[in-house]
Amino acid sequence: MGIMPVAVYSDPDAGTPHVLMAEQAVALPGSTAEETYLSISKLVQAARDCGVDAIHPGYGFLSENPEFARACRDAHITFIGPTPESMAALGDKLHSKDIALAAGVPVVPSTPACLPGDPVAVEFADRWGFPLMVKAAAGGGGRGMRQVNRQADLGGDMETASREAQAAFGDGRMFLERYVANPRHVEIQVLADGSGHTIHLGERECSIQRRHQKIIEETPSPALTPELRRRMGDAAIAVAREAGYVNAGTVEFLLDPRSGEFYFLEMNARLQVEHPVTEAVVGLDMVEWQIRIAGGEPLTLQQEDIQPRGHAIECRIYAEDPYRDFVPSTGTLLRWRPPSGPGLRLDSGVSEGQEVSIYYDSMLAKLVAWSPERDLALRRMEAALSQFLVLGVVTNIPLLRAVVGHAQFQQGEYDTGFLEWNPAVTSPFISGDSRMMARALAAWASRQPVGQASQQAGSDRPVSANPWQSAGQRRLP
């Protein structure tokens, strides 16, 4: 596009790929997110010093912060995203529900904003019964969210969720929402220009989640009929127009697969992590369109121009242990050998030899597989995950392989409770050959002969636990 990008980076990120690739990079002194990527003053000053025309906020940190968008506007720097006013309106989850209702889109019944101990929470629970959902009024991404299954847990769960929301968003307000049993999480991607012209780019299925956070997305959704796809697309456009939305955004819904009814969940006023799957099937560069719209250009695409082709699946590669409650993993990437080939795309911010620190989100990469048919895309993803070599940190790749290869997932018959209802997927399994190698590695790490390593100290009983765990925290050179 003829635009020279300027990257910003914290101290731990000094050697990361985006810094090395950028034509110019500016340091934000510090290590924590609060000192660097969440510092509005530092970012605006860096932009002024470099004389930039615009800031793209990405899809994390300040990407949905209306104060940042307002600070950019005050500094006469274009914010590549929606206006601070629409961002603020949609960022308040309860206000966004009012917008959806005004647009004629159904929502899940909920309380007004409240704090732990508020009588309105008890009244709502008495009316709707349990289970219920507790959610943060000012945030998303699974933070400050709890499922409450009985009256005795309501107060404690609200207090815990409120503290988490306060820490994540600076706002401890909560609301209670009626629980929708076994829903699917389906979202619609929208684009809108400054004149109000709005289109949608189809849906993304996001029901495979851990801790209410997505780990696998695909498009098109196996659950949608053409008629349901049309209705949900129309609803998403209606919400965006009612909010006066400009630029790229995503309207999220809960879908009851039995009745075909759907409910507005929220609208994310930013580019989504999972946008590459949409790009893969519609053949558009969404960031290019974000920049063009922010620059005042009209959206020249019409709804009939959007003709999705094929099927795309995305797996999020995290540095975390899926068999130890998804605890984050840190260390040096001793080996980073992602797969490549036809129909594959990798978006990553790391490289071999890089340190995976404690300071930021544990996502390492997004792996996308495209193919003309869903079953071929699944096979392509299975093969790609099996070839993805990462050493130095624990990743969730084994979990992703288990999900993608699961019969229920391959049939498209799954919902947001998939991991909960399939505990075998989140339980480590070691085949015979892998078990022998694991025993050898465990023996090496403990400096014992292989025969001794196969027994617990002081016991004649063979080890039945995972030998990777029994090897402790040592790392092979």
> Which residues are marked as active site?
270
Strands 389-391 vs 335-337: parallel, antiparallel or unpaired: antiparallel
> Residues 189, 218, 274, 308: is their CA dihedral positive or negative?
negative
**Residues contacting residue 243 through CB under 8 Å, at least 6 positions apart:** 86, 89, 90, 96, 99, 267
Give the separation between CA 285 and CA 275, rounded to whole angstroms.
10
Q: Which residue has the tokens 């507790």?
A: 134
CA atoms lying within 13 Å on the CB side of residue 358: 0
Task: Give the tokens for residue 424.
Answer: 């075998």
Between CA 296 and CA 45 the distance in angstroms is 24
Look at the block and give the residue holding tokens 């969720």: 161
Residue 51 · residue 26 · CB < 8 Å = no
Amino acid in the structure at residue 39: S
Coil/strand/helix, residue 472 = coil
For residue 392, give the DSSP letter: S
* CA–CA gap between residue 53 and residue 419 (Å, rounded): 45
Distance CA 310, CA 395 (A): 29
